[in-house]
Amino acid sequence: VCSMGNSTSRLYSALAKTLSSSAVSQHQDCLEQPDSAQLDPIDPKDLLEECQIVLQKRPPRFQRDFVNLKKNTVSNHRPIRVMQWNILAQALGEGKDNFVQCPMEALKWEERKCLILEEILEYKPDILCLQEVDHYFDTFEPLLSRLGYQCTFFPKPWSPCLDVEQNNGPDGCALFFLKDRFELINSANIRLTAMKLKTNQVAIAQTLKCNETGRLFCIAVTHLKARTGWERFRSAQGCDLLQNLKDITQGAKIPLIICGDFNAEPTEEVYREFSNSSLNLNSAYKLLSPDGQSEPPYTTWKIRPSGECRHTLDYIWYSQHALNVNSALGLLTEEQIGPNRLPSFNYPSDHLSLVCDFSFNQDPDRLL
């Protein structure tokens, strides 16, 4: 740990307290919401500087640029920036995922945590949707709440993280939004079902009011079942999530954004269900393709003992009748990712973050 001047030592002390994975030692206590309201706000520039000090021996961040997707649309309000990211649960990265080309040193939580925070702080999302969060109570909630976010976490009922020795509790989905931009109207934690049976996968759906425009919209985050052979299961989970969202949005009267690791390629049935839903959804990252009809070639790229895995699994869906995609963050190139793939000393997760800027359609009564 490098020494720092007095002006940053108090902030670094707060950051360093989150480096210990023993902060949540009792799993039965992991659902108790800690009280961060009494803590002082953090300047995001100061926190970013502290993260960069921790990371100074690592290679610099990859450069990614936003692609302007505006089609001569005029908006009289600030865009809403939404970030989707499976950040890789620490227990799984160290204990179960077997990234054979990734040195264990690159997975050290003390530094990987700062890489994750650096990515978030660089892109400054208004709304942040995360999967595989197993350090919510000792890291993300304490820090992001002090950055002005309202925080919600919903763990998996039987998280695989709990099978890993010295784990930090269950992983789950987390949703964060800036309190100065939005007001929470309604929040629902959804345990997804398949064939009428409750499953181990979850979602969070929140109805927010944009303080600038007064417009309502729903933001949802989910993480569907992984592994080949579970395609029908994912399809059933997707149908359940869509039905819940139809109820919450009153049949798409309230605009909708859905972020998630669907663990499904665009060829799977669950993808077609979302594409053809009566909610009139489109996948934002299709707009990066020349014809606007093709998903990116990959959103995750890793090497396991069974071989190389290069897939498109992560999506940001949106109500195309009510929302416009102003821009989207370009993906890392194969050259940037490198031959050992992800995660790495450069990048903290095996999934790429997706970031989009949205604006409301100026005709709120436009029909589906």
Which residue reads 């790229």 in tokens? 301
Q: Say if CB 61 and CB 346 are below 8 A apart.
A: yes
pLDDT at position 197 over 90: yes
pLDDT of residue 9: 43
Pairing of the two strands 80-86 and 127-133: parallel
Rounded to whole angstroms, the Cα distance separating 168 from 133 reads 10
pLDDT band, residue 95 (cuts 50/70/90): confident
Which residue reads 């989905």 in tokens? 173
pLDDT of residue 66: 97
Q: Say if CB 134 and CB 93 are below 8 A apart.
A: no
Least confident of 13-22, 90-99, 187-196, 218-227: 13-22
Taking residues 182-197, report their average pLDDT.
Answer: 97
pLDDT of residue 37: 55
Within 13 Å, how many C-alpha atoms sit on residue 227's CB side?
Answer: 5
pLDDT of residue 5: 38
State the first-to-last Cα distance of the chain, in angstroms, to the nearest integer.
56
Express as a percent the part of the chain with pLDDT over 70: 87
Q: How far is CA 256 from CA 76, 117, 215, 219, 251, in A?
A: 20, 26, 12, 6, 10
Rounded to whole angstroms, the Cα distance separating 102 from 303 reads 8
* Structure tokens belonging to residue 87: 């950040």
Taking residues 84-108, report their average pLDDT.
Answer: 93
Domains of the chain: 79-360 (3.60.10.10)
pLDDT of residue 71: 74
Rounded to whole angstroms, the Cα distance separating 242 from 203 reads 11
Would you tell me the crossing angle of helices 109-123 and 44-54 to the nearest 10 degrees?
140
Q: pTM higher than 0.75, yes or no?
A: yes
pLDDT at position 223 over 70: yes
The more confidently predicted of residues 329 and 25 is 329
Q: Of 171, 141, 147, nearest to 157 (Cα)? A: 171
pLDDT at position 2 over 50: no
pLDDT of residue 362: 79
The pLDDT tens digits for 252-282 are 899 999 999 999 999 999 999 999 999 999 9
Q: Of 172, 17, 15, nearest to 91 (Cα)? A: 172
pLDDT at position 123 over 90: yes
